[in-house]
Structure 1
Amino acid sequence: MNKLIFTVFFLLISNLSTANVFYVDPVLGLVDGDGSESRPWKSLQKLFDGDYIDSYKWSIPYSDSSYLIRRGIEAPIRGGDRIVLKDGYYGSLKIRGFTNRFPITIISENRHGARFSNIDISASSNWIVDGVSISSTVSDGAVRGLFLVEDHRFHGPSNNITLKSSKLFSIQDSSTWTAADWRNEAISGVVSYSDYTKILNNHVFNIKRGVLLAGDYSTVKSNRISFFSRDGIQTIGDFNDFISNYVSDSIKVDGNHADLFQSWSVGKGGKVGSGTVYNNRVIGNYFIAQTDLNSPLSGYVQGIGCFDGFYENWVVENNLIVVSNWNGIAFYGLNNSRVSNNTVVDVWNDTVGPAQIRIFPHKNSLAGKGNELYNNFSYKLVILPDSGVVASGNNINQFSLSSHFKDPLVFDFSLKSSSSAINNGSSSSSVRIDILGNSRDESIDVGAYEYIVD
């Protein structure tokens, strides 16, 4: 991806003209409509297949010397405009070769009223998809992901794609699905291989994997991800933020060791565990193994599982992790990173656990260095030699959760006034707010929650 060409292109753009609003209605729209609310277009895909959008595409075949070519010079839709979708079914949407000067927003007029089977975006930039519903299964023909963003080897890169306030699922109600149904029909939710992707405030449920980020400089924030048969969130990219998400309810359908959050490095030749994943932040998330304790397919899911480093300059702080597994937080090959003020607990006390924080050298026995472990609440810290860890202010060997937290069985891990976690954190920590956004005072509490007087 030639990011320099892309950046220079946008710096040279003239001022944004007045934004326009256009309408699409798959039920009452007109084949010869003009995009007005009284004469809406009937097909959204037609706007991309025809000459309706003033945008740019890369010269092909894409290479470092490729340049942007204007398309649709006289087209009505331009950067900054909004395409409002009336309620109805839009099927599969494919966007390829539309690099906008400024973002164009595709928005459902009524939240989740515009329904898609899948949305695939490649070789495109500056698109916002807002408030839609995306749903299909393998039998419906979808394979790679309900919302897919990728660079294209021939047509060029994608970046600055946003999905917000949308609903993604394989099936609305999975209560009757068997393990075989999950294996054969579940589709991944969001899959992005491109940079500067934003996944914001979406509900992703009844899926294979929730969110996969393979690109860099992206944000996954304030999403609800639940009932998944692989991993909740996966990343192999760098400089990504995972903030304030609620990830829960792993579904056990085979021998896969699922994680609520997982990352791994990829080195030369695509070899796993032979590279480095840089500068990711995992902050203020709720990672809950199960909320539906009666589910016949609930399984032993791991919390934050990072087993194939190296991992460099990571921040993992203010997360609540509730799992019945040793690997509450696990890093194999961690460098120059901070793991602070996390609450890592097990409310079920099953045999595969209780939850721990585990920092190990790389699987190839290479030593870690420069790591800080401050003010975490956990049953146990397992820090092997050569892990490069300085630890302080951690509250461990805790079995009686009810003596510390208000109501663990309903996942309320705010602190009781009697908890020894209060005011016992290390001042070495730089964490100044808690998982709820409350300010921490000078006497820092241990774990994700700062004690607030009722």
Structure 2
Amino acid sequence: MFKPRIRRLILTAALTLAALPAAARDHWVSAAAASGDGSAERPWPSVAAALGSDTVRGGDRVLLQPGSYGDLTLTNRHFSPALTLMSAPGGRAHAERVVIKNSSGLILRDLNVWPRQDDPRKKGILVQAMEDTSGIVFDALDIRGAHDAANYLSWDARTWLDERRVGVRLGGRDGVLRGSVLTGVGGGVLLPGPGSKALGNEIRGFSKDGMRVFGSNAEIRGNVIRDCVKVDGNHDDGIQSWVGKNNPDGAITGVVIDGNRIIEWTGPQDHPLRCTLQGIGLFTGPFRNWVIQNNLIAARAHHGISMYDMHGARVVNNTVVNLFGKVGTSPWIQQDKSSRDGSNIIANNVAMQLRIGNKGRPLRNFKVGSMHDLFENPAVFDYRPRAGSALIDAADPAFAPPHDIDGIPRPKGRAPDLGAYERP
């Protein structure tokens, strides 16, 4: 006879096990299948068939075998924990476009997304989560503005103008784009959704802006934005923002831009379409409480980091240099007169010119006089402080982030180094 206490423990354990979700399952899909049951041997013929089967649950994986799935549109799908749709091991599934509507808790991973060669839709957005979504994650996608986008360095102006597709738009709350590569696109990434995140992506070859951020509390971390082309009258920016008429708060607040590399051009120096790129342009505020730190900007336009109607910002340990090594006034770090109320911290930066006024707590910053004396090898975009550089141990530790652009802890010497890089 069990003692009452032991019986209660067994009953509690049984009830706990009953409350646990069933083990996560894998469901298989093949674009070549005619019908199936979702097993590896008899995969579903489409994603719609899999999700309509009533066997897919939150926490499961839907594995897409290699093949083309056309336009992948997911509507009215809500999962907790998140459902993962991904390429099956051993290959990559392809979609022409991806659209998520009225859904939450979805992860799309390891997919190729680009239009067919004969796709008549020359504009539009290749991957997007609409405003009525939340918690949508796009992970490790290969996104191309055209089927031959890998050859973007050989495109002429007409090809760029004809293939003006935007890479990604995160319109909903807390959307994420991470670990993805976008090649040969018009605009790269749009972040209108509050709490959007762009983490560790690469944008290579673009003809408008690399990223645009319009949602408060967005995060842009660890991205590479490079190779801008000039084919029209757009003022091309690596990262740009402005406050639109329909912004619900009247300001964009709490955005973090950390550890990004914005490089105007890495291709042939005599390329006829290479643009003159602006770095981070924050125009037509108000903006409040932004953090802009550990970024490298190697470009030629005046606006390296420019802030208009910015308040309460922390702009620290950025390296803003002329791509050609030309010493002078551009690119600069600037706050306009409406931003000079003393609320912005601008410290430990390296730039060709500083236009920040006497207010705004313009602390320890450095104006570049000689690229050769400061950096390891600018010719190959190596802007780490070289041995003996005046940047070493020269930053104010009160304002330096705890790590540099490469994740190296600060400080390595007596004090942190100026700029985005800490010399090991």
Q: TM-score, normalised by structure 2?
A: 0.89
Cross-structure match for 1:278: 253
1:352–1:178 CA distance, 2 compared to 1 (3 A): farther
1:392 aligns with 2:392: no
Displacement of 1:428 in angstroms is 2.6
How far the C-alpha of 1:185 sits from its partner, in A, is 1.6
Quote how far apart the aligned CAs of 1:175 are.
3.6
Report the equivalent of 1:37: 40
Alignment of 1:258-273 (within 5 A): 258-268=236-246
Offset at 1:354? 2.2
Match of 2:121 among 132, 136, 141: 141
CA gap of 1:230–1:203, structure 2 versus 1, over 3 A, is same
Asked if the contact 2:27/2:50 (under 8 Å) is kept, the reply is no
State the partner residue of 1:311: 287
Letter in 1 for 2:285: G
| Whole-angstrom CA distance in 1 between matches of 2:333 and 2:21 | 50
Paired residues, number: 399
Q: Indicate the residue corresponding to 1:338 in structure 2.
A: 314
TM-superposed deviation, 1:111: 7.0
CA contact (8 A) 1:16 1:102 kept: no
1:123 corresponds to 2:123: no
- In the TM superposition, what whole-angstrom CA distance separates every residue of 1:410-453 from its partner, at most 9, and x where no partner exists? 0001111111111111233141211111111251210001122x
Pick from 382, 392, 397: which aligns with 1:422?
392
What is the distance in 2 between the residues matched to 1:216 and 1:332? 21
- Which of 404, 410, 414 does residue 440 from structure 1 map onto? 410
The CA distance in 2 between the partners of 1:423 and 1:111, in whole Å, is 48
The Cα shift of 1:333 comes to: 0.9
What is residue 9 of structure 2 aligned with on the other side?
A: none
Distance (Å, rounded) in 1 between the aligned partners of 2:171 and 2:162: 24
Q: Which residue of 1 aligns with 2:347?
A: 374
- 1:184 Cα offset (Å): 2.0
Once the two structures are TM-superposed, the CA of residue 290 in structure 1 deviates from its matched residue by 0.5
- On the 8 A contact 2:239/2:281 being kept in 1, the answer is yes
Q: 3-state DSSP class of the match of 2:70?
A: strand
Q: Which amino acid aligns with 2:256?
A: R
Are the structure 2 counterparts of residues 351 and 374 from structure 1 closer, same or farther at C-alpha, using a change threshold of 3 Å? closer
Match of 2:60 among 64, 81, 86: 81
Describe the SS at the equivalent of 1:181: helix
Q: Using the alignment, how far apart are the partners of 2:318 and 2:21 within structure 1?
A: 44
> Which residue matches 2:373?
403
Contact kept, 8 Å, 1:80 with 1:105, in 2: the verdict is yes
Matched, 1:361 2:337: yes
Q: How does 1:172-211 map to 2 (within 5 A)?
A: 172=149, 173-211=151-189
Q: Which residue of 1 aligns with 2:81?
A: 102
Which of residues 285, 296, 306 in structure 2 aligns to 1:320?
296
Structure 2 Cα separation of the partners of residues 356 and 88 of structure 1: 48
Q: Secondary structure at the match of 2:372?
A: helix
Asked if the contact 1:139–1:185 (Cα under 8 Å) also holds between the matched residues in 2, the reply is: no
1:420 and 1:111 map into 2 onto residues whose CA distance is 50
- In structure 1, the residue matched to 2:144 is 169
Q: 2:27 aligns with which of 19, 22, 39?
A: 22
Match of 1:450 in 2: 422
Q: In structure 1, what is the Cα distance between the partners aligned to 2:346 and 2:237?
A: 21
Letter in 2 for 1:285: N
Letter in 2 for 1:372: I
- Structure exhibiting the larger radius of gyration computed from Cα positions: 2
**Cα shift readout 1:162-182 (whole Å, capped 9, x = no counterpart):** 001110011232244221221
Aligned-pair CA distance for 1:381: 0.5
Q: Hey, what does 1:3 align to over in structure 2?
A: none
Query: Unmatched 5+ residue regions in structure 2?
Result: 1-18
* Shift in Å, 1:361: 3.2
Do the aligned partners of 1:265 and 1:275 also contact (CA within 8 Å) in 2?
yes
- Alpha-carbon distance in 2 for matches of 1:331, 1:90: 43
2:39 is paired with a residue whose SS is coil
CA offsets per residue over residues 211-240 of structure 1, 9 Å max, x none? 101011121111011101111011100111
Deviation at 1:193, TM superposition (A): 0.9
Number of the residue aligned with 2:7: none
Higher mean C-alpha deviation, range 252-261 or range 182-191:
182-191
Letter in structure 2 aligned against 1:428:
A
Cα RMSD after superposing both structures? 2.1
* Counterparts of 1:400 and 1:351, CA distance in 2: 7
Quick one: which amino acid aligns to residue 391 of structure 1?
P
Cα shift readout 1:256-290 (whole Å, capped 9, x = no counterpart): 0010001111235x69xx93110000001101011
Question: 1:180 & 1:92 partners in 2: Cα distance?
Answer: 26
Distance 2:376 2:327 in 1: 25
- How has the CA–CA distance of structure 1 residues 351 and 393 changed in structure 2, closer, same or farther, with 3 Å as cutoff? closer
Task: Find the aligned partners of 1:111 and 1:351 in 2 and give their Cα distance.
Answer: 50
The residue correspondences of 1:5-16 to structure 2 (distance < 5 A) are 15-16=20-21
Change (3 A) 1:198 1:310: same
Change (3 A) 1:40 1:345: same
Q: Which runs of 5+ in 1 are unaligned?
A: 1-13, 53-74, 152-156
> Are the aligned partners of 2:222 and 2:258 in contact in 1 as well (CA < 8 Å)?
yes
Taking a change above 3 Å as real, the CA distance of residues 390 and 111 of structure 1, as seen in their structure-2 partners, is: farther
Q: Look up the SS of the partner of 1:402 in the other structure.
A: helix
Deviation at 1:131, TM superposition (A): 0.4
